[in-house]
Structure 1
Amino acid sequence: MHVVTDSLDVVRGVLGHGPVAVQVRVKTNDREAYALTVAALELCRAAGALCLVDDRVGVALAAGADGVHVGADDLPVAAARRALGPALILGATCRNPAAAREAVAAGATYLGVGPAFATSSKTGLPDPIGPEGVAAITRAVPGTPVIAIAGITPARVAELDCYGVAAISAVAADPAAATGAFLRALDAFEGAPA
């Protein structure tokens, strides 16, 4: 499970319940993004969790994060891979199978796919691709983790054919309880008969 946040309280709340990756998303400036990433990294390292940075390759490198996630308006995947080198994690936002294949060919480690469902966490998003769109991307890039994002609740996890899910607003109010619910839903889904 990926948790996208700009809050250290959320980071503290989601750690220690099972496997999570924290994606630091700060929309103000590099200085604030760096400070939050350094603080989040300390918490993530102590909990054995991954810490990624949204959009900002330079901040991820400067802070020593585990990687970065780039969207459509950020550095191209190939350029981000060159900057990060071969070892760091590189996520890329994709909305269709062709873009997914291109991102993987350019060096993406995993794909953030969506919007899976309608959401209020981010404005200006295209129409949701739904479970069918997520499944099509998963089939297009076998072996590459696909993380669905947008409008996902623990109850919707079973509708999605993907490696994992990302949450923003769904964990904000009660990070510990929400993370536990998501992880239980993911465990149940992974254990379901095919």
Structure 2
Amino acid sequence: MKSSSRIFENFSLYAVTDLKGDSAGIIRKIESVYRGGADIVQLRSHCLTDSQMLRIGEKVKKIARRYRRLFFINDRLDLAIALGADGLHLGQNDMPLPLARMIAGRAGCRFKFGRSTCCLKQARTAIREGADYIGVGPVFETPTKPGRTPVGLEYVRQAARYVQIPWVAIGGIDLGNLALVMSAGAKRVAVVRAIFLARDPERATRTFKQKLGD
């Protein structure tokens, strides 16, 4: 298997789950996304219990290894440590990144850490704190971030010009607007609904990968 660092260095498609429904259905959908070529799947849910997340996460970890891909956890450092995830994504209101890295290190975990950002100031702060990558967005309006004003393509252009660590455009990205995001300078995108709510998630994933040049 490729090392996790090598996979991370070359990723282009980062799929973010919107976990709802029965566990078996969720796991089947996630496996179809890995099969379609997603480099990273982030487990995110605001409606599942911790025990459900742990059960799903254990199975997803095995699937990720089988397909030689990565799996990240959203927000929850404790779950990421318990599951032995490859990475942890933190929002602006989550714990300080240096503290999260210190706790993970004491637990023997070497995660890739990401931070959500909506402007260059936040990006520079995240980089200074040691983020391995940042999220740039939300680029477009999205129901997964209600009440959040989209940053538009201008921040994508700024990130392409000024951000020197890996970054991923996120927020309302679908196959209809992907070309606009790429023309603004994005080489990596994170996708939620356009993959996980697609009629055929595997096919949608493959199409994203093809359009991203993989």
The alignment's TM-score, normalised by the length of structure 2, stands at 0.81
* Partner of residue 127, structure 1: 149
* Partner of residue 102, structure 2: 82
* Partner of residue 50, structure 2: 30
Q: Output one character per residue of 1:160-179: Cα deviation in whole Å (capped at 9) or x when no partner.
A: 21231111110122211110
Whether 1:168 aligns to 2:196 is no
- Map 1:148-167; keep pairs closer than 5 Å: 148-160=169-181, 161-167=185-191
Whether 1:100 aligns to 2:119 is no
SS at match of 1:155: coil
SS at match of 1:187: coil
Q: Which of 160, 166, 190 is equivalent to 1:145?
A: 166
**Larger relative contact order (Cα-Cα within 8 Å, sequence gap ≥ 6):** 2
Is the Cα–Cα contact under 8 Å of residues 61 and 84 in structure 1 kept in the other structure?
yes
Identity score, percent: 33
* Partner of residue 141, structure 2: 118
Amino acid aligned to 1:4: V
Structure 2: distance between partners of 1:30 and 1:73: 20
* Partner of residue 8, structure 2: none
* Partner of residue 28, structure 2: 9
Structure 1: distance between partners of 2:32 and 2:134: 25
Gaps of 5+ in 2: 1-12, 20-25
Structure 1: distance between partners of 2:98 and 2:52: 26
Q: Which moved further from structure 2: 111-120 or 23-32?
A: 23-32
Gaps of 5+ in 1: 189-194
Amino acid aligned to 1:121: T
Whether 1:48 aligns to 2:68 is yes
- Equivalenced residue count is 186
Alignment root-mean-square deviation, CA: 1.7
Q: Runs in 1 of length 4+ with deviation above 3 angstroms?
A: none
Is the Cα–Cα contact under 8 Å of residues 24 and 36 in structure 1 kept in the other structure?
no
TM-aligned CA distance change 1:163 to 1:80, over 3 Å: farther
Is the Cα–Cα contact under 8 Å of residues 14 and 20 in structure 1 kept in the other structure?
no
